[in-house]
Structure 1
């Protein structure tokens, strides 16, 4: 069965510039999104601190990380589905530690085998450090690695990208393919080319909608869905149960 992964986009956490909600309210919002995703039929969800912009590339505020782990732990305990971890921007150590302490199943690393330039600075590659840290703390968390992640550019010519794809394919458990930005649909020809060279399961991580999910899942092994299943189609809004249910139905009617 193809994997359907929904996004739980947290409100801005304590210590972040946009923080307005206390921990209790942030947790309530996350649990409401979890409930909607489970009712809609998603098999997995990723908890992400999307509202902490502008992100830092080296660390995050201790109060923000403590709040993230507290919310994640509650979500994992309440969930009947698999829960994943995403801490921006590319904070692999925090993600592995958070998953280890909460029982989350997988993490998403934006720049695993590549060096990328994004608005916040340079990120990656982190595969060597991440794999060693995972081993050192005896973690079994699985790694979903982005390839040419959205909202970023390679520091070298994209014509050399196949080498980095092959490296990610060797060391990650899943590979994530995206469009250029959040909510932007993937180029299907590009997805087909990636399918030819990638052995591991491929998840499409942006621009998945009710209209294109069937076409995408004919090639990919799973999808990560956020924007299109949110209230009014706005990324940082909460999950809309009706939108989420319609997407799941479309995916399962293939």
Structure 2
């Protein structure tokens, strides 16, 4: 069996990456300035423990509660995330990535600064979105990664972005093929409409067939009852909402829910040759 970068980073086949959603940060409308950054760190530490003790294969740290999102973030966001991750680093025991929503360049900067192995972002395309007209510049972003010494940072391209529609009239297979050929993603993510929303299985099949050797991840809507089905289609999964108490986006990660899904994932992986 050919070894891929996924095998080298995660050890296991078909890894499940857990989202570690940071509470609102300074500059965000929802930031609790009275409780301060210490409260954000405390919550992140609690959830990191629940995710790791529950058995996830990796974590991705994001500013998920920086609603409404910016497509070019203010410096305070990545700076604060770097401070928080720095405090958590001694306790991070699994491969980790970062995601500064929705800013690919800031995500790469944060990964280089903290030693993260991967980032996930919208690196390609032009979209009509809930955040306005959303444009990207993957060539500039790729060159920026090289300039800041981030060539080792793997890039997860989300080609079905949440809360947005691709402006060009192109089918998903064509988008996948040209993304792979022209923009050199390390992995491709396929999403539903929002965080926690189901990812269409047929969309995963289409992307997987068109992506060639590039790994494909299910990015939203993975649950204990469907994780085996989704991992059968894809090369891995990214899970956020399901791991939270009662499966509610705003709640904190709960160890028992993590264990429930990861048990099903491990049972599925036993069947792999």
TM-score, length-scaled by structure 2:
0.87
**Residue in 1 that maps onto 2:178:** 167
Q: Does 1:81 align with 2:88?
A: no
**Residue in 2 that maps onto 1:93:** 105
Unaligned runs of 5+ in 2: 1-12, 269-273
Q: Does 1:119 align with 2:130?
A: yes
1:59 Cα offset (Å) = 2.5
Q: Does 1:157 align with 2:180?
A: no
2 CA distance for matches of 1:124 and 1:46?
A: 24
1:184 Cα offset (Å) = 1.3
Q: Residues 90-136 of structure 1: CA distance to partner in whole angstroms, max 9, x if unpaired? A: x11211111111101111012x2211222112223331011100111
Q: Name segments (4+ residues, structure 1) moved above 4 Å.
A: none
CA contact (8 A) 1:9 1:236 kept: no
> Is 130-139 or 112-121 further displaced after alignment?
112-121
Equivalent residues in 2 for 1:15-164, closer than 5 Å: 15-20=27-32, 21-60=35-74, 62-89=75-102, 91-110=103-122, 112-139=123-150, 140-159=152-171, 161-164=172-175
TM-score, length-scaled by structure 1:
0.93
Q: Does 1:7 align with 2:13?
A: no
1:146 Cα offset (Å) = 0.6
1:209 aligns with one of 209, 223, 228: 223
